[in-house]
Amino acid sequence: MTKKKVAIIGSGNIGTDLMIKVLRYSQNLEMSVMVGIDAQSDGLARAQRMGVATTHEGVDGLIAMPEWNDITIVFDATSAKAHLYNYDKISAFPGKKVIDLTPAAIGPFIVPAVNLTSLQDVPNVNMVTCGGQATIPIVAAVNRITPVYYGEIVASIASKSAGPGTRANIDEFTETTAKGIEQVGGAQKGKAIIVLNPAEPPLIMRDTVFTLSAQADREKVRESIQQMVATVQTYVPGYRLHQEVQFEDIPEENPVFIEGLGNVHGLKTTVFLQVEGAGHYLPEYAGNLDIMTSAAKAVAEAL
């Protein structure tokens, strides 16, 4: 098989971890260029040691390189604001596919376990957020059994695993994740909360998913969730249920009020997840970063 050449824009933690995954574990992707803006960054230095071409002149430097012509997929692991500039430059070259790991969401959301096959021909796809990659599959798993009225997720990540890019994009994180819960997960209304946990030693990523749906066979909902967890594990081995799925009836005579939906009753499903990183470049507690790079790699391999 002829490998497809890829470039990564962003030489920080996410970009560097993704580079290592491509170099060591991908059978159909070839790491071509690592792009940064800081000539002294650890990511660029590591890329050079691993035999990967580099530039510290951003996307403009990438386009000026001879390797550019052969690159078919570009990962953007910068920031929402930077992605707007980067994609404006890349989109001038037909045939280049962009996988956006920022909350910019220029292109449609993609979550490999849910809607991978429907977006094969889209030039720019968005990986939502780490919280979205972890929790949207669960909302979708409930929704394929019974209509989900409301989906709410709480993503708790180690403070040490939240770099400056994550911290600068907190608002975009919550907004983008909420939209992904609706557009990919299938909920009528979505909400997202992120918690930066300062505990020492750092705790691995934990996610809580609440859905309120029409009443349904609880065993079918449970089985659907377990099947979805198994699907995500094919590309994120550290993804698992932290506790058994919990159910609660919200009776019609005592509904809950949800802004935008009004009084709602039905079946409340609560799912507790944890995501342990693979430890390729990042610490194992940084499952929030590992799930993004693992999902992005899965998307690129499918493309």
User: Any catalytic annotation for residue 130?
Assistant: yes
- How many angstroms separate the Cα of 139 from the Cα of each of 94, 134, 152, 178, 198? 35, 10, 9, 11, 28
Phi, psi of 189 (to 5 degrees): -140, 135
Q: Which pLDDT belongs to residue 1?
A: 66
- The answer on pLDDT for 7 being more than 80 is yes
Task: Give CA–CA dist 230/295, Å, rounded.
Answer: 14
Task: Give CA–CA dist 143/146, Å, rounded.
Answer: 5
Catalytic pick among 82, 99, 130, 145: 130
pLDDT in tens, 227-251: 999 999 999 999 999 999 999 999 9
Q: Which pLDDT belongs to residue 103?
A: 83
What is the pLDDT averaged over residues 52-71? 98
Give 95's pLDDT tier (boundaries 50, 70, 90). Answer: very high
- The answer on pLDDT for 123 being more than 90 is yes
Class of domain 4-102: alpha beta
Q: Which pLDDT belongs to residue 164?
A: 75
Q: Give the start-to-end residue ranges of the domains of the chain.
A: 4-102, 130-283
Structural domain 130-283, CATH architecture: 2-Layer Sandwich (3.30)
How much is the pTM?
A: 0.94
Q: What value does the mean pLDDT of the chain take?
A: 95
